[in-house]
Structure 1
Amino acid sequence: MSGLGSGSGAGTTPLPHRSVANIRSPHTSGNTNPSTPSSSSRPVPTSSFGSPSSLRADEDILILELGSRKLQIGFAGDACPRGTVWFTPSQLRRVGDFRDWSSESKTNVDWKTKKVTGEKWWTRDHELWEYDVREVDLGLIGDKVERALREALTKYMLIDSRPRRMACVLPSSLPLPMLSAVLDSLFTRFQPPTISLFSSPVALTVGAGVRSALIVDLGWRETVVTSVYEFREVNTKRSVRGGRLLVEQTHKLLARHLPENQKKKEGTTSEDTQDYDLSFEECNDIATRMVWCKPHLSSPKAHKSKQGLPTLHEQDESDSTEAESPTEASKTARIPLQSCRSPTTIELPWAALAEPSENAFFDSQYSESSFDDHELPLPLLVYRSLLQLPLDVRALCMSRIIFTGGCASVLGLRGRIFGEVSKLIEERGWDGVQGKGADQMRANPKLQGKRGSRPAVSGPTGVTSPPEAVGGQEQDGVWHDAANTAHEACPVEEQLARGQDKRPRVQGKMRAIESVGAWSGASLIAHLKAAPISTIEREAWLQYGAAGASKPSEVDQKSARQSFGPGGLIRGSAANNSWTLGVWGVN
């Protein structure tokens, strides 16, 4: 204890093991000058102290689904998108625009003061693109995509600006100039190393868990019916009847019931006033929440079973009028409107709210011959799509009908289309020839007998065998009955049959199924690392653009295979030079 106490005194010399100088620099007896501390030669592992997000930056794939009116974004492997960004007129405003805080913004008068330019000005600011690219500003479309994507990355994704691989889910009918504008905006402003392209109908098929399906896309611009067989699009038919026409029919219904003092003044030119009395936002909200569709007449709810007469209940005749009320015609809905000249409230019967969907999707008051090929009613469009398919493809697709799109949420619309298509199949069958002559030929038995000259045979004729071979054969003193001999089990075939699904496939009858959506289907495909329709590298696109894409028939699939052997990297780099745009490059 005395040694420790004396060593800690003020006049004593500190012990060698307690000296700080011996730790920082080696002890030298002759040199007393201060020296620079020597740094350690061992490298510091900087990757261990990096952000965890940097480790997954190369693995994460951003899934983008671009539609006519919205953008959905999320990571590959997620069940649903992280966020949705709608294309609205507020995205076209610049910095310093404070119209959202003004009193006039609450009454939606911005659309009234806007200068009319063109026929489609009412909905132009609420959509990303239109398929007629003759009067479209492609640069503006690229700017809209960039602004919507930056808003989605900032609000919903919460990630840094590191370049990441992207996968775009696009409709297969998108024009090539529109696709080029989208890819230019993504490659130039976000710099992803690669962008993969997925088709919306194929992604919807994967999201439903099937390999073949009939996709009925009730979209904004048009309704597209696509037949997918073994993950390949084999047939596509479209009609101009979509969500845009539904909103316009809703505006006509509301404007017809407006008071006279709320309508536009008569005698004014188109330069002084617009052709619409209400705003798009209000009509779209009413069409989304209140418009419904009438059920099909032959549905189970419309009529009872035909077995026997319906049971009649005894009641007093004087109470018959009271028992029938209230009827559907007497039920009304009060709709407040804020975008007209002054706020008002109108009353509409519930039956009138079914008129927009009836006029937009069916037009039952007109005959079939009065429609062009691009404006067919939806039941007739689905029926003709099935009629043009081969027999085996039709049997699978008609049992896997998928309704998707924004208008698929209209109450009763999917059941109405399904019921009318089933009725067309029962009445016409699968004969594409229609008319009075065809009906007379089907009803006349004499004309039916003259269609084939060969007489009808009751059944297949068997091969006659000699009498001595009937009953079996006798070989080496043992009787062999070849006809009744049991089949020997093969162990190899039994092992192969274990992994097969022995359940019979549903085909040949009408059936509708559900899908988790195109975005979720593309997320599943990218997570499983399946081959997309097209994969485009950034360097190749910036150097050549869409002109550098090859046709699908010009790509050698054998050279596309990569190997880790000698020369494998050279063959892999040569194969990457050949890339296609898939179905978008064929248009």
Structure 2
Amino acid sequence: MATASSNTYRVPPRTSSLNPPLSPGITPARQAQLSSSSYSHHTEDPLIFEIGSRLLRAGFAGESAPRCVLEWSNEVFWCREGIVWTGGASNRDEDGRGELWRGDLRSVELGVVEDVVERGVRMAYNKYLLLDSKLKRVMIVTPPLLSTPVLTALLKSLFVHFQMPGIMLLSAPTMATLSAGTRSALVLDLGWEESTATAIYELRPVGQPRRTRRAGRLLRDFWRDLLTTSTTSTPKTPKLPNTTIDDIISRLAWCRKHNHPPIPTADDTTPIALPLPLPLPLPTGTTHLPFSALADPTEKCFFAPTTVPSSSPDHPDDDDLPLPRLVYEALRAAPVDVRAACMQRIVIVGGASQVLGLKRRVVDEVRLLVEREGWCRVGGRQSGVPPPVPPKAEEEEQVQEREKEVSYEWRVEDRGGALSPGSPRGGLEKGLQQQPAGTPRVRGLESMGAWVGASLVAGMKGRGTVELEREKFLQAVAGGGTGLPVGY
């Protein structure tokens, strides 16, 4: 992978001749051959695009980061000659926070999606990439469970407006697994509209991804409730814009540990000032909140039994599962060999995964679910090991100490050698020694994201799972089809 220093450009030194200086031992003919070969290699490398409902990432193959990250909320994408598109109103938030699409396609105009994608990709080409779109093949990283009409609209916009010769489609969970340095993992993608858990085995998805509505949008709604209900607002108080709430979440959101004491009540007198120059007058008390209250939205959004009023909160709807339960159900539904490989590599990606302490909390609670319930499926034969016996009262302290030693960040491969108790990870290795040989554990694994994984695949001359040619795709769409292979 290219390092960060390879992304910067340096101005070459001035020379007295129009021709660049030759390296020692290289003839002019050899220099011309090297230049032509490097140029052809550069033109063969595809571009990497990651198109989400709120962001567009674009860059070159083989690099460690995208060249640009554009937000669809940019007013330039939604205006034409200074006039806001009336058709874009259904695709946007109430304060103008743009979303390229939503889960409910009844409120999405696909024609507007095509136009906005065309404007965003054109800005990426003209301002950041500085290339001719007709000479480059493109790899597109698609999110899991992306609807077919939206994907067809995206591909149609790229083929029609940019004359791309071909497009390769890559799965975001598979690319996130590859950028984590492994071939098998359980990828939990915390998106904007939904969160998905996908089992990846040998770089291939296994089964259907499981989803829940607990994602970035719901987290923002809980933060809005916190900022409005904890104040003495008046009817004339203006509503907080979504841009301000997103800024507050990125600065102040955090997550408790699973063995944290109960949530403090309102009499907690540890205030914290919001370090934001808010652009509008706020009601009295808005700029100060108890520090413990800053974790409440994350608790309610991702870990509460249910987020809607229910007569049976212990049995939530399948689309309202907490994140630990979602990961556990995805692991339990996977085959035994796939589960053994994935439970040791839980990869958490997505915008909402940046909340402080969220990754460790999810992995710790999944570990507790496995210890308490095992892998016994309801109504079927038992799969895997039986549920362990609950620890005795005198063993609870030892269990808590072992859970404190294990965090999300650690990842150690046991290659059969003896583990050194005196190493910097002595507490971790002590916990590993307490497990029987060959027993898989629930562990987390850091990933650099789906875009970096696609950059690795393109740099290694890898091929996508689906490759689309321009002429065949447009002919299929003109005939009333989707242009995608059967079963995709």
**Normalized against structure 1, the TM-score is what?**
0.61
Percent pairwise identity: 39
* Cα shift at 1:198: 0.4
* Cα shift at 1:200: 0.4
Pairing of 1:150-299 with structure 2 (within 5 A): 150-235=122-207, 236-261=209-234, 277-297=239-259
User: In the aligned structure 1, how far is the partner of 2:474 from the partner of 2:202?
Assistant: 34
Q: Would you say the 8 A contact 2:144–2:196 is kept in 1?
A: no
Distance change (3 Å), C-alpha of 1:283 and 1:513: same
Pairing of 1:30-429 with structure 2 (within 5 A): 55=40, 58-94=43-79, 97=82, 121-122=93-94, 125-235=97-207, 236-261=209-234, 277-297=239-259, 329-335=268-274, 336=276, 338=278, 340=280, 346-364=287-305, 369-429=314-374
Matched AA of 1:260:
S
Name the SS for the 2:321 alignment partner. Answer: coil
* Cα shift at 1:158: 2.5
User: In the aligned structure 2, how far is the partner of 1:221 from the partner of 1:174?
Assistant: 11
Q: Would you say the 8 A contact 1:87–1:126 is kept in 2?
A: yes
User: In the aligned structure 2, how far is the partner of 1:351 from the partner of 1:546?
Assistant: 57
Q: Would you say the 8 A contact 2:185–2:201 is kept in 1?
A: yes
Distance change (3 Å), C-alpha of 1:334 and 1:443: closer
Distance change (3 Å), C-alpha of 1:126 and 1:443: closer
* Cα shift at 1:205: 1.3
Larger Rg: 1
* Cα shift at 1:519: 0.8
Name the SS for the 2:79 alignment partner. Answer: coil
Distance change (3 Å), C-alpha of 1:294 and 1:262: farther
Distance change (3 Å), C-alpha of 1:92 and 1:149: closer
Name the SS for the 2:347 alignment partner. Answer: strand
CA RMSD of aligned residues (A): 3.8
Matched AA of 2:273:
R
Distance change (3 Å), C-alpha of 1:337 and 1:420: same
Distance change (3 Å), C-alpha of 1:116 and 1:150: closer
User: In the aligned structure 1, how far is the partner of 2:225 from the partner of 2:279?
Assistant: 15
* Cα shift at 1:400: 0.8
* Cα shift at 1:546: 8.5
* Cα shift at 1:339: 5.0
User: In the aligned structure 2, how far is the partner of 1:520 from the partner of 1:171?
Assistant: 14
User: In the aligned structure 2, how far is the partner of 1:392 from the partner of 1:192?
Assistant: 41
Partner of 2:445: 513
* Cα shift at 1:186: 0.4
CA offset digits 1:328-385 (Å, max 9, x no partner): 9432211256355568752101011111111111115886544101111111111111
Q: Would you say the 8 A contact 1:76–1:523 is kept in 2?
A: yes
Name the SS for the 2:257 alignment partner. Answer: coil
Distance change (3 Å), C-alpha of 1:278 and 1:408: same
Unpaired runs of 5+ residues, structure 1, are 1-46, 100-113, 265-275, 303-327, 435-441, 445-500, 551-579
Matched AA of 2:473:
W
Q: Is 178-187 or 253-262 further displaced after alignment?
A: 253-262
Q: Would you say the 8 A contact 1:72–1:81 is kept in 2?
A: yes
User: In the aligned structure 1, how far is the partner of 2:372 from the partner of 2:123?
Assistant: 52
Q: Would you say the 8 A contact 1:180–1:546 is kept in 2?
A: no
Partner of 2:382: none
Q: How many residues align?
A: 396
Partner of 2:487: 586
Partner of 1:493: none
Matched AA of 1:355:
D
Matched AA of 2:47:
L
**Normalized against structure 2, the TM-score is what?**
0.72
* Cα shift at 1:95: 5.8
* Cα shift at 1:125: 3.8
User: In the aligned structure 2, how far is the partner of 1:150 from the partner of 1:506?
Assistant: 52
* Cα shift at 1:53: 9.7
User: In the aligned structure 2, how far is the partner of 1:352 from the partner of 1:205?
Assistant: 34
Distance change (3 Å), C-alpha of 1:263 and 1:410: farther
Name the SS for the 2:69 alignment partner. Answer: strand
Distance change (3 Å), C-alpha of 1:150 and 1:119: closer
Name the SS for the 1:169 alignment partner. Answer: strand
Matched AA of 1:350:
F
Partner of 1:543: 475
CA offset digits 1:9-58 (Å, max 9, x no partner): xxxxxxxxxxxxxxxxxxxxxxxxxxxxxxxxxxxxxx99x999974574
User: In the aligned structure 1, how far is the partner of 2:251 from the partner of 2:160?
Assistant: 40
* Cα shift at 1:75: 1.0
Q: Would you say the 8 A contact 2:91–2:102 is kept in 1?
A: no
* Cα shift at 1:443: 12
Name the SS for the 1:510 alignment partner. Answer: coil
Distance change (3 Å), C-alpha of 1:190 and 1:116: closer
